[in-house]
Structure 1
Amino acid sequence: MDNPQQLATIRTTSIVPVDLNALMFHLEKTLARASKASGDSAGATQYDALANARQQAIEKYLWNDKEGWYADYDLKTHKVRNQLTAAALFPLYVNAASRERATKVAAAAESRLLKPGGLTTTTVNSGQQWDAPNGWAPLQWVAVEGLQNYGQQKIAMEVTWRFLTNVQHTYDSKQKLVEKYDVSSTGTGGGGGEYPLQDGFGWTNGVTLKMLDLICPQEKPCDALPATRPATTPSPQDKPVAAPAANDPAPAEPQKTGS
């Protein structure tokens, strides 16, 4: 937004989002695998080419080399933006990042986004709901899975434990789960934006259950935060990821939003 305090100044059509392009890369890879499984070799080749071109575009246009993280591209300034947000973890979530860059993103997220109650959405406290100090369950899960994909298990478990603590403390005081949380502390629902904090909430419920699975052994599942924090253990999801080839062809422009 041109003015972070005024939602009416939003300018989505001039921003190329890193999270959208990461998800489209994942979609193209999925379609390539589906085409191959169905015997459509031409379709598989087509979607693989699209995914590879998008991955190269993400690396070229949506990587801020000076700051060391992925960010949105500004079509007005023709530059990648400097602001760090939780969207920087999306290339890790879909295995589109090189290992070297993933390590830099992990370090930036740990030092600048990780708060007592989880991962903050941005570093800007604008009063809007998709900014600090709010943390959203889907973004916590994207971060956890993305970090695990690149062997960053310690940071992934730190995000997991802190967010679960926030959810548990809020539940203990309010007897409910909510849409978003204030991650500057633990035990408080989020705020800001154009409507009141919502109860529920589907994605909070789902992420909480998945996170409990991460910290509780399969032979002894838990339905609440354990009294004792478990030791960090290697995850079966940890796996090596190949870096994009240095001599890949020049990338195409990444996708921008249409609204």
Structure 2
Amino acid sequence: MHFDCDTVKQERSKYESATTFWAMWAGVSTPRQAAAMVATAMPKLEAFGGLTSGTGESRGAIGLDRPNRQWDYPFGWAPQQMLAWIGFMRFGFEAEAQRLTYKWLHMITINFNVTRPIDPHKVEAEYGNQGSDFEGVAREGFGWVNASYVYRLQIVNGDMKCALGACVTYEIFVKATESLNMQT
């Protein structure tokens, strides 16, 4: 995995982030490094709705000195998703890119929390200058979230679009398509 580095203190961060995949997006990873990142980071970051921004373990306990923030676990960010998808495709991890895309689009369709399949719309974190009441949040959505949705909706196949329209989870979609493939 890749980590941030404090150049003044000459210390590497221990925060595990979805930005680890950006080296793949930028094309600076070797195929071997890309495969290692997918094998190491994907299990830590993949959730019901795509990639979490970071891991719960590296995020640490929520407290007065470390309040819950919109960019922390359990949330996901559209730019992190998009760059990871592109990186996966660049290195031949098409199935992973498609799976994460579907999960992200489904999560946006039903709303925002990457780790909560029951009520992903429930966000109990400070959001910018909004606090957690969201009174000032634009109803039409945010540019990068909207962009990630439109961008990937153009790439998923027709079956996936139909399943997203019916708000079918990725797991149910896979089971349904596998059973159809077995019958043909």
TM-score by structure 1 length?
A: 0.52
**What is the alpha-carbon distance in structure 2 between the residues aligned to residue 226 and residue 155 of structure 1?**
21
**Alpha-carbon contact 2:102-2:160 (below 8 Å) kept:** no
Question: Unpaired runs of 5+ in structure 1?
Answer: 1-68, 171-180, 233-259
- Amino acid paired to 1:183: V
* Structure richer in strand, relative to its length: 1
Q: How far has the Cα of 1:221 moved from its partner?
A: 9.7
Q: How far has the Cα of 1:224 moved from its partner?
A: 7.7
**What is the alpha-carbon distance in structure 2 between the residues aligned to residue 164 and residue 189 of structure 1?**
17
Q: How far has the Cα of 1:190 moved from its partner?
A: 4.1
**What is the alpha-carbon distance in structure 2 between the residues aligned to residue 190 and residue 221 of structure 1?**
26
Larger Rg: 1
Shift in CA distance, 99/202, structure 1 to aligned 2, threshold 3 Å? same
1:146 paired with 2:87, answer yes
Aligned CA-pair RMSD: 2.7
1:130 paired with 2:71, answer yes
- Amino acid paired to 2:116: S
3-state SS of paired residue (2:76):
strand
Shift in CA distance, 150/191, structure 1 to aligned 2, threshold 3 Å? farther
Aligned pairs for 1:1-259 within 5 A: 69-123=1-55, 124=59, 126=62, 127-170=68-111, 181-186=112-117, 187-188=120-121, 190-193=123-126, 194-196=128-130, 197=134, 198-199=137-138, 200-217=141-158, 222=161, 225-227=164-166, 229=173
TM-score by structure 2 length?
A: 0.71
Question: Unpaired runs of 5+ in structure 2?
Answer: 63-67, 179-184
**What is the alpha-carbon distance in structure 2 between the residues aligned to residue 135 and residue 221 of structure 1?**
21
Give the share of equivalent positions with the same residue, in percent: 24
> How many positions carry a matched residue from both structures?
152
**Alpha-carbon contact 1:213-1:221 (below 8 Å) kept:** no
Q: How far has the Cα of 1:226 moved from its partner?
A: 4.8
**Alpha-carbon contact 1:212-1:224 (below 8 Å) kept:** no
